[in-house]
Structure formats: C-alpha cells, structure tokens
Structure 1
Amino acid sequence: MGICVFALTLAWLSTTRASDCTRVLGDCLDKRGTPWTRCYEDEIASCTLRSRSSGFIHRRVNWTHEAEGSLTGQHRFHISSSALLRSRGAASDSEVLLVATVIDSTYFKLSPPPRGRFIRLDRPSQSTVLGGLVLVVKAGNYPVGNLSQAIKLGFKHDKQVEDGACVYWEESSLEDGTGYWSTKGCETTQTESEFICSCNHLSFFAVLVNPVLAVDERNAVNLSYITYIGSALSILFTVISLIIYIHLQRRSPEKAVAVHLQLTGALLCLHLSFLLSCFWVEKGDDWVCRGLGLLLHWSLMATFTWTAVEGFHLYLLLVRVFNIYVRRYLLKLSLVGWGLPTLIAVVCGISGVYGTYRPELTDANNHSSNAEICWMSSHRLPVSFVTTVAYPCLVILCNSCMLGVVVFKLWGLRAGSFGAESGGGLKKVSGEKWAKLWKDCATVLGLSFVLGLPWGLASTTYISLPGIYVFTVLNSLQGIFMFLWSLALSCKSRSDHNSSVKDHSTQKMMTTSFNN
C-alpha cells in the first residue's frame, strides 16, 4: 500500500512539475542569463499541453513515417522520415516528440547581422514578417541540421504581397536574446497564395515580405562588369582632364583650376588602384596585396579630402568674397589634401590592417562564393567605419550645404534679373533668359559631381536594387563627368579670352575661380 501511495505521489509531482506548454513562452521571457529562444526550445520538449489549441501541436509520431500538420489555417509543415530519424534519441525509441507552434514576431529582438553577407536583411521592421507570426518546428531532443531531404513549410499570403524570402532565426553572439533573420539553408518558392520554404534544418521560421534587398548572381555579375568598365573609362577620361587642366593652368593660373587638378589626380589614383586591387588579388602575392590595399584606402581618403577642399574653396569664393588673403594658399590646401590621407594610411599600414578581404557572398539560391579584393582584412575594424563611412558622410553633408548656397545665390540673381526685365508684370521670359536658366542647371549639376555628392547615393543601396545600379553607374563613371566639367571650363576660358565679360556678378559665380 505504501509503495502505491509513493508511486502515485511521484506521478503527481512529475505532472505538476511539467509546465503548461502555453505558458512556456512567458516563463522563458522572464528568465535572465540565457536567450529566451534557447530556453523555449529546451522547455517545449518537456511541457504538457493541458488543452487543445489550433496554434499548438504537441504529439508523439512514428519516425518511420512522414509527419505533417497545419496551424491556424495559415501555416503548414511536412517533415520527412529521415529528419525524424535524425532527431530521435535512443535507437530503441519508435516514436519522437513533434512540437509545432506560432509565436508573435515582436518577441524577436533584432541586432545587426554580421558583415560579409551578400543578401542583406539589415534590421527589417517587424511589419515585414508575414502575418506577424513565426513558425516554430521541433522534433525530438537533438538538433537537426544539414538534412539531405529538406522539410517543407507553407505560409499562406494574399495577392498584395509582391515578394518574400524564407528565413530562420539565428542568435547573435551577444548572449542577450537578440539575433537576426538569415536565409542560409532555406529556399523560397512562391505560388499565387502561398510561400513554400524548403529548409535543411529545424528552427524558428518566418517569411520576410518585400525584404530590404536580395541580389542574385546575375545582378552581381552585371554590377561587376559595370564597375570594371566604368572605372576603365574613368581612368581614360581623368587622364584627358589632367591634360586640359594643365593647359588651363599654364594659360591663366587660377586657384580653382589647381584644386580641380588635384581632385582629378586623386580620382585617377582611386580608379586605378581599385582595378589593380581587384585583379592582382588572384596572383596570391600577399605583400603586394597589402600595398594595393593601402594604396586603395589612401586614394579613397584623398578623393574625399579633395572634394572637401573643393567645398571649402567654393565657400571662400561665394560667402567670404571680400578682403581675403591666405598666404601660400595652394600649399596649405595640398598639405591637407594629400597629407591627411597619407598620415592615416601610414598609421593603418604600420598597424597591419591591410590584406586580402574575402567576404562570404550568398546569392538568392544560397549558393556561396568568395569575392576577394586587396583592402582591409576586416570591415569590422573601427578605422574602416571612421574613414569609409563617417568621414565621407561628413564631407557629403558639408558639400551639400555648400551646393545649397550656390543654388540660393543663383536663384537670387536670376529672380532679380527676371524682375527687372518684366518690370513687375507677367511678360514672357525671353529665350536668352531660358538659356541662362539651363546654363545654371548645368552648373549646379557639374558642381554636384565636383563636390562628390553622388557618393551620397550609397544610402539607396540599402533600399532597392535600382539604387545599387544608379550608385554604381554614377560613381564608376565619375571620371567622365569630371572630364565634361573640365571641357566646359576650357570652352568658357576660350570664350572669355575672345570676348568681353558680360554681367560681371554672374560670371564671378559661374567661373568658380578664386583669383590671386
């Protein structure tokens, strides 16, 4: 009798100790010291489902048969027998525990994903998770991964959804419960009413609708060709631009032409070092690659520094017009334009940050490849963020303000000119005035390239694929636009030499020459 009472008591204690499956999520969220997702996966296998629920499956299945189920009418799964076999415990077990449920996506706190992933799903908002629900599928007590026969997951959607990507939740290395959505091991098939995910592991799954960006291999190849061809053309046209500027400088020495000359030289070094870094990396000479990485970094810094000098020179020309004298002005600008990048590159070179950079590239079909370039050995270095992100952003911001000043002054001059011509009435603007307006627009457009503003389009590469194409085309062909600017200055210099100057105030604005 005592033995029976003891057995009943033990059974009662084990039953009360097993928590209700519907309460496991809340208990794990309250725990501290371990990620809640890891706690949930552990506790969900030992809980008890006290009541039936359309959003929860908790049953034992025979591993020799395939398992399938449906949740909430919007999610379904199909697990092969080979996956169930991999998840069972002892060899004598004929059944394995199958758990499937859905969780609100707001519980998954996002952290920045590691760099080097070609498909970027950078911090998507929670609204991008289809239906706001994450499907959890777990079998047995052992992790299941690298399955030869993928499991199938179905996520129903409406016709308003344009695009989607199957992802799973991967914990970050911070041990704080945060993580990111990854496409690794999952392939996506979309029908008229459903996303079908084929994944080679069991985990937390979701579909991100209209994801931030997904670049396939074809687009990657196209972008590479555009970059290489554009850089080659930029090298050719920057050389021609240098010849034009040297000719202009000899004819009529002006500080503006000297600054343009320095910027064009930096741009030539940038495109030349970029092509060398891309193609020389295949030869495997480590010390040469480190040198090319230093040269590429130095050229990039010099280009942005000289665009900043262009903005500063334009500020002196348009804002502080009178009573300006700077002793050895060009020498001081050269010390800043070439000296600052040289100092930074030398310090980085001594620190040994340069080498072969090998980002892991993954296309939309999860095919991995390695693209190599002579650059910094890791993009996660603080010097990489400061010199290639923070500094360019500061230069672009300042030069954008400077371009705004140019537009404001041009608008003021033209408005006053139009008012004087019409006498305050609504007379038709003459063709000559329209020509001046078009000329002003061309001037502003040319200055935007001189001031490096197309680099600001880098922000669009995180929004859409067309943004990547626009950014790649404009910046790889920047040497051509600089050539057009030098050609315009050459034609204007010839025109000024052969005719008298008209409208002195406007000409002073348009020439961007800070004369001695």
Structure 2
Amino acid sequence: MMWIFLVTLSWLSTAQAVHFCKNVISECYREAPLQNVPWTRCYEDRISTCLQGRHLMPNFIQKLVNSSQEAEACPTDMHSVHIPSSALQRSRSDESQMEVVLVATVINSTYFTVSRPEAIKLRPNRPKATSRMVIHDQRDHMQGTVMGGLVLAVTAGSQPVGNLPQPIKLTFTQTRQMEYRTCVFWQELDNGTGIWSTYGCNTNDTGAVVICSCNHLSFFAVLVNPNLSVDETHSMGLSYINYIGSALSVVFTVMSLIIYICLQQQRPEKVIGVHIQLSGAVLCLHLSFLLCSFWVWLINEDDEGWVCRFLGLFLHWSLMATFCWTALEGFHLYLLLVQVFNIYVRRYLLKLSLVGWGLPTLIAVVCGSLDVYGKYSLKLSDAKDQNSTVQICWMRSEFTPNLVVHYITTVAVPCMVILYNACMLGLVVFKLWGVRGSSRDADSSRSWKKVNTGKRLWKDFVTVLGLSFVLGLPWSLASATYISLPGIYLFTILNSLQGVFLFLWSLALTCKSRSDKDSSTTHPSSQKMTTLNN
C-alpha cells in the first residue's frame, strides 16, 4: 500500500508539470499577467514540451528535425514555413545536440493586444537579437488588419534565433485578392501588450501568395492596408507645406474674389455669385488654419484661454462652410445641366447662403455650447527617442464626445459631399461627350480636322479638371493617407493649394467671358449653358 501511495503521489506531482498543447495558449494567456511576463514568452517555453494527447491537434505541427538539414512545415493549406539549417543550429542548447523540436501552428490574432501609440517607447539602436526582445525604432512600427485573422507561430529549439545570414521563408496564401500587404512579426513589450514590426522582414507580394523573408523566429503575420506611421521629420515637412500652401491660398483667394466681383458687375450671373461664396469660405478656412497654428506659438503651453477656443470654433466653422459651399456648387451644377429651361428661384442666392453659412453656424454654436473647442495636442517621437508635441487650436484632445463630433463633421459629411459632387462631375463628362458628339454631327459636311478635335479634347479635360477642384474632389485623397507616405504628401499639397486652383479657375472664367457670349449665338448647346448661368 505504501508503494502504491508513493507511485500515485509521484504521478500526481509529474502530471502537474505536464501541459497539453491545446491548453498552452489559454493557460499562458491567463497565467502570464499574474507573473508579470508576456504570454508569448510563456507560450514559447511550454509549446516545445507540451503533449498533444490522444487526438492530434488540427493546424499544429510538433516534430523533431535534424539541425544539420533544412526543415519545412505546413500547419495549414494556406501557411507554410521553410527554415534553413543555420537557424536550427542556432536554436540548439549545445553543439552536441543533433535534433531540435520544431513547432509551427496558427493562432487567432485576437490573442495579440496591440499597445496604444502613447505607450510605445521605441529605441533607435538595433543590437543583435540576444533575447526574445528585438529593439527597433518607430519606422518599423505598423498598424493594420491581420490577413485572415491568423498569426503563424514558429519556434525551434530552446535558444532565441535572430540575425540569420539565410532568411526564413514564410508563405501566406490568400484566395481573395488584396492590396497593400506587409509582412510583420509580433514585438512584445514589457506591459504585456505588443506591436507589429517589419524589422528584419521583407515582403514579396505575388498576388495570391505573400512570401515573407525574415531573419529571426517569432510570431508572423501579414497586415492588410497598414496605417503609415509618420515620424517627426516628415511631420515637420508636411507642416511647412501646409503653412506655405495656406498662405498662398489666402493671397490667391483674395485675388479670386476681386476677379469674381468684377465679373459680377459686368455680367451678373448666379454661378459667379456661388463662386464668390465658395471663395469666401476657402479664404476663412486657410486664414483660420494659420491663425490657429500660430497662436499656440504665442501663448503659454499650459494656457488655454478663450482666444484659442474661439479660433478652434472659427476653424471648425470654416471647414464646415467650405464643404457646404462645395456641395452647393454641385447642386447648382445639377440645375445647370439637368433642369435646363425656365429656372427661376426667388432670392436664389439668399436661400443658398442660408444653407451654406447657416448650417455651419448652427453646428459651431451647438459644439461651442458643449465646450468642445480648445487646444489639440498630437504627440510625436523622433529618431532620438524624444517626445515632441504638435499643438493647434481645434477640439480639445481629452474631451471624449469630440470623437463623435469629429467623425460626423469631418468624416461623414465630407464623404457625402465628395460622393455627391463626384456624381455631378460624371454628369458633366456625360454632357460634354453629348455636346461634342452633336457638334461633330453638325460639322460632318465640313472637313473635320484632327487638330480641332485635339484642341476640344484638351479644353474639355481642363474644364473637368478645374471643376474637380471647385467641387472639392481632391479631399477624396484623404483615403490615400492610410496607404503610403506619397499619398499623404499629395493630399497635403493639393488641398493646401486649393485657393490657388480657385484663382486659376477664375482666370479661366475671365478669359472665356467674352467667347461664351459669342458662342451662345452660334451653337444651340452653348446657348443652353449660357442661359442657365443667368
């Protein structure tokens, strides 16, 4: 009996140290925070010695491989890994060990908690990987959606593997075509969270297959549409572009107003009146942006007086007024091209002004009563691991309801305006195509020259391009800021110079003011266009 008791006690003590493979993730995810260590480190320690039990786990490979030979593993039909012999040799605990345990499996991406940007402290130096932590800088930090929601976990031996001369090849297969995919690995942080980093990994996207070449072993994934992290150098460059572009827009918008007022006195037209209102809104937008940016340089960093709150309200009001008047430009274009004859609206410009100026005023008053305006702070980290702050008078950063106000007024409303004006621009292209077709039919008896056709196509292209800036379509490039750094620069340049493009459009109207009168007496289609402007 004593012998049975001792054997049973020995078995129980041994069983407590045994971990079944299917429970390793849940156990580490639950126990690691209590031990103040990342759960991924607990997983790597236990996964090579765990037991699979009676039934083999799906999408899980655990096998002994010869360290002097290459090894391959395919945990799923869509994930595979090829490990060179140099990586297996480095994973050995001693040189006499010939075989190492290779584990390859896929893990749900929900187990990986991405750290908040303000909690990330990255260092500029990149030492050799002597532990599981690989220190890197901010340029490697990526954010995005994990492709397929699965992370490929690969471990070998008991020693960390990094800075390999021959990279490890990981293959991710996806049947659905996706763009802008990037290979990343999971970089754990001391607070139990982590980040997705591209350090040591190269991406080869062939369409249906993404091949990742990495010089270390870890948890790997492919991010779809990663958010670009802009460092302080690019941030300062973009800031200067904004300041210079806004200053030029203020100057040229004032010149546009003078031109429009002169045209209005010579030939009163409703379309010119709408252009005047839009130019006024754009002038207020760029002027308020410059005032909000420069005012924070003059006041104390911790001071947030009524002037900054007023400037934040002024900037928000100007932005909403600009979008409202671009939408009204599209509405007037609809009346011009669709509702052609017998259009008379009593006090037409006054009613448009009530919408174009009244709606932004109402929104600004409601937001001002909620005390949402103040100093907005954006923290940046440069290459020297020094935190810097960019401030502007806008909506207060710490005010939670600002998220709702922000997404409604600066995301939802602009998206609807851009979509509507894009449809109007498509209608313009359709009408121009019909007008040019009728003109070619009318001139069929004449000798139609290719030179004249080229000139008309060029004029139509310039017209459509100018209308796209008047309708505010360059704002749609905001989606490009989530794709690449050139997209951010393109969006910043085009929208900061909006006043300059409006000035060029006013010059084009001035040059065509006399030719439009002459053409309206000769071409019926042009007569429609001229009649509707009045």
Q: Same fold (TM over 0.5)?
A: yes
Relative distance call for 1:512 and 1:478 in structure 2 (3 A) is: farther
Relative distance call for 1:217 and 1:127 in structure 2 (3 A) is: farther
Map of 2:391 onto structure 1: 372
- Percent identity for Structure 1 against Structure 2: 49
Matched, 1:405 2:407: no
Matched, 1:503 2:523: yes
Residue 322 of structure 1 is aligned with which of 329, 333, 341?
Answer: 341
Map of 1:266 onto structure 2: 281
Letter in 1 for 2:147: Q
Map of 1:244 onto structure 2: 259
Contact 1:461–1:471 (8 Å) recurs in 2: yes
For each residue in 1:7-33, what CA deviation from the matched residue of structure 2 results, as whole angstroms up to 9, or x when unmatched? 4323312333445352225766999xx
- What secondary structure sits across from 2:341 in the alignment? coil
Residue 456 of structure 1 is aligned with which of 470, 476, 497?
Answer: 476
Letter in 1 for 2:352: L
TM value normalised by structure 1: 0.73
Question: C-alpha distance in 1, partners of 2:466/2:413?
Answer: 23
Contact 1:360–1:371 (8 Å) recurs in 2: yes
Matched, 1:133 2:132: no
Matched, 1:296 2:318: no
Question: C-alpha distance in 2, partners of 1:260/1:464?
Answer: 33
- What secondary structure sits across from 2:388 in the alignment? strand
Question: C-alpha distance in 2, partners of 1:397/1:223?
Answer: 27
For each residue in 1:422-447, what CA deviation from the matched residue of structure 2 results, as whole angstroms up to 9, or x when unmatched? 35x9x753533432222121111111
Relative distance call for 1:168 and 1:46 in structure 2 (3 A) is: closer
Cα deviation, residue 313, structure 1: 0.7
- What secondary structure sits across from 1:124 in the alignment? strand
Matched, 1:49 2:68: no
Map of 2:409 onto structure 1: 387
Cα deviation, residue 294, structure 1: 1.1
- What secondary structure sits across from 1:480 in the alignment? helix
Map of 1:338 onto structure 2: 357
Question: C-alpha distance in 2, partners of 1:302/1:457?
Answer: 20
Map of 2:293 onto structure 1: 278
Map of 1:11 onto structure 2: 10
Contact 2:333–2:424 (8 Å) recurs in 1: yes
- What secondary structure sits across from 2:533 in the alignment? coil
Cα deviation, residue 279, structure 1: 2.0
Relative distance call for 1:232 and 1:470 in structure 2 (3 A) is: same
Relative distance call for 1:111 and 1:482 in structure 2 (3 A) is: farther
Map of 1:348 onto structure 2: 367
Letter in 1 for 2:442: A
Question: C-alpha distance in 2, partners of 1:324/1:410?
Answer: 21
Letter in 2 for 1:388: T
Contact 2:246–2:287 (8 Å) recurs in 1: yes
Map of 2:23 onto structure 1: 24
Contact 2:313–2:368 (8 Å) recurs in 1: yes
Residue 469 of structure 1 is aligned with which of 474, 481, 489?
Answer: 489
Relative distance call for 1:508 and 1:29 in structure 2 (3 A) is: farther
Contact 1:294–1:349 (8 Å) recurs in 2: yes
Question: C-alpha distance in 2, partners of 1:106/1:370?
Answer: 36
For each residue in 1:61-96, what CA deviation from the matched residue of structure 2 results, as whole angstroms up to 9, or x when unmatched? xxxxxxxxx9955978999xxxxxxxxxxxxxxxxx
Range that drifts further, 102-111 or 156-165 = 156-165
Question: C-alpha distance in 2, partners of 1:504/1:354?
Answer: 53
Cα deviation, residue 205, structure 1: 4.7
For each residue in 1:78-118, what CA deviation from the matched residue of structure 2 results, as whole angstroms up to 9, or x when unmatched? 99xxxxxxxxxxxxxxxxxxx99654255447899868899
Matched, 1:234 2:279: no
Cα deviation, residue 337, structure 1: 0.3
- What secondary structure sits across from 2:380 in the alignment? strand
Residue 436 of structure 1 is aligned with which of 429, 437, 456?
Answer: 456
Question: C-alpha distance in 1, partners of 2:457/2:19?
Answer: 74
| Aligned length, in residue pairs | 451
- What secondary structure sits across from 2:342 in the alignment? coil
Relative distance call for 1:207 and 1:126 in structure 2 (3 A) is: closer
Relative distance call for 1:415 and 1:348 in structure 2 (3 A) is: same
Cα deviation, residue 134, structure 1: 3.8
Counterparts of 1:135-150 in structure 2 under 5 Å? none
Relative distance call for 1:374 and 1:171 in structure 2 (3 A) is: farther
Map of 1:91 onto structure 2: none
Question: C-alpha distance in 2, partners of 1:431/1:347?
Answer: 57
For each residue in 1:262-290, what CA deviation from the matched residue of structure 2 results, as whole angstroms up to 9, or x when unmatched? 11111011111112222212323412222
Relative distance call for 1:393 and 1:499 in structure 2 (3 A) is: closer
Counterparts of 1:108-187 in structure 2 under 5 Å? 108=110, 121-126=142-147, 133-134=152-153, 156-157=167-168, 167-168=186-187, 181-183=195-197
Cα deviation, residue 356, structure 1: 1.5
Cα deviation, residue 38, structure 1: 7.9
Question: C-alpha distance in 1, partners of 2:18/2:38?
Answer: 17
Letter in 2 for 1:386: I
Segments of 5+ residues of structure 1 without an aligned counterpart are 56-69, 80-98, 140-149, 174-178, 198-202
Question: C-alpha distance in 1, partners of 2:502/2:89?
Answer: 57
Cα deviation, residue 477, structure 1: 0.8
Question: C-alpha distance in 2, partners of 1:15/1:448?
Answer: 74
Relative distance call for 1:498 and 1:40 in structure 2 (3 A) is: closer
TM value normalised by structure 2: 0.70
Cα deviation, residue 346, structure 1: 1.0
Question: C-alpha distance in 2, partners of 1:266/1:497?
Answer: 29
Cα deviation, residue 218, structure 1: 3.2
Matched, 1:215 2:230: yes
Matched, 1:478 2:489: no
Question: C-alpha distance in 1, partners of 2:161/2:170?
Answer: 25
Segments of 5+ residues of structure 2 without an aligned counterpart are 53-61, 66-80, 92-100, 121-137, 173-180, 205-211
Cα deviation, residue 298, structure 1: 0.8
Relative distance call for 1:399 and 1:190 in structure 2 (3 A) is: closer
- What secondary structure sits across from 1:49 in the alignment? coil
Letter in 1 for 2:493: V
Counterparts of 1:78-117 in structure 2 under 5 Å? 103-104=105-106, 106-108=108-110
- What secondary structure sits across from 2:436 in the alignment? helix
Contact 2:186–2:194 (8 Å) recurs in 1: no
- What secondary structure sits across from 1:238 in the alignment? helix
Contact 1:121–1:211 (8 Å) recurs in 2: no
Contact 2:519–2:526 (8 Å) recurs in 1: no
Question: C-alpha distance in 1, partners of 2:426/2:292?
Answer: 36
Contact 1:164–1:210 (8 Å) recurs in 2: no
Contact 1:169–1:180 (8 Å) recurs in 2: yes
Contact 1:461–1:467 (8 Å) recurs in 2: yes
